[in-house]
Amino acid sequence: MKKPPTVATTILMRLGPEDECIIGDLLEEYEAGRSRWWFWHQALSAIVSGAILQTRARPARVLVAVAIGWTSLLLAFALLGDRVADGLAGLLWNWDRQAAYVSDVWWPFAICAAMVSYTGFALSAWLVSRFTRPAEGPMLLAYTASVVVVLAGSAVMIEILTWLNGRVPVPHPLFYIVSVTLPYQWRSGLVLVPLVIILCGMAGHRRRRLSS
């Protein structure tokens, strides 16, 4: 029996439509001689189309998913962001915030703040997946889309405000969100954050198996 691509199958099973017939048809077509590229293309198409249909059919659940993700994210950063980042920087590099205002040495905090940011996004994704069953795949993708929109919009807004005013003060809970899109992180968050959300959200999914 021709084995389908493992990664594509896993993603399809975790994020794809609930209709097992669609997944079963793709597997049958692949076993009949279709290429790996064809399977990947069809799997991603099924995920996207399924997500669009689910979000249109369940708008209230989409709002719940987005609310869970953003609420958990903002609460985590507001309550723990500075404490964890400062504490970790102090533990690893003996860094102190008050001393940094004099020495202007902020790179230990920047590294730890990035760690806090990605951990927060990962946790929010896991919670979205755990509390939006069934159809957690499309709900996770809806939350991911909302994060991408916010990150891209904040990056553009910060660039404009920086050009106009020189500096842009950002409240600390929001700092852990927007910092991943800043130039000193090479705007890597625009790519890495969606990947982290999807991967960690998939870890929170229930396992599905095709019925025989």
**Of 35, 57, 79, which residue is a domain's last?**
57
Pair 77, 25 in one domain: no
- If one counts the domains in the chain, the total is 2
Confidence check: pLDDT of 212 > 70: no
Of the given ranges (33-42, 70-79, 167-176), which has the lowest mean pLDDT? 167-176
Nearest to 118 by CA among 175, 65, 51, 176: 176
Query: Hey, which of 53-62, 63-72, 129-138, 167-176 has the most confident mean pLDDT?
Result: 63-72
Pair 123, 197 in one domain: yes
Residue 122: inside a domain: yes
Residue 40: inside a domain: yes
Pair 93, 167 in one domain: yes
Convert the pLDDT of each residue in 94-124 to its tens digit.
Answer: 999 999 999 999 999 999 999 999 999 999 9
Question: Range of 49's domain?
Answer: 6-57
**Of 21, 42, 57, which residue is a domain's last?**
57
Pair 84, 183 in one domain: yes
Confidence check: pLDDT of 208 > 70: no
Confidence check: pLDDT of 184 > 70: yes
Pair 152, 181 in one domain: yes
Pair 113, 142 in one domain: yes
Residue 172: inside a domain: yes
CB atoms < 10 A from the CB of 109, how many? 21
> How much of the chain exceeds pLDDT 70, in percent?
96
The pTM is what? 0.90
Residue 212: inside a domain: no
Count of positions (residues) in the chain: 212
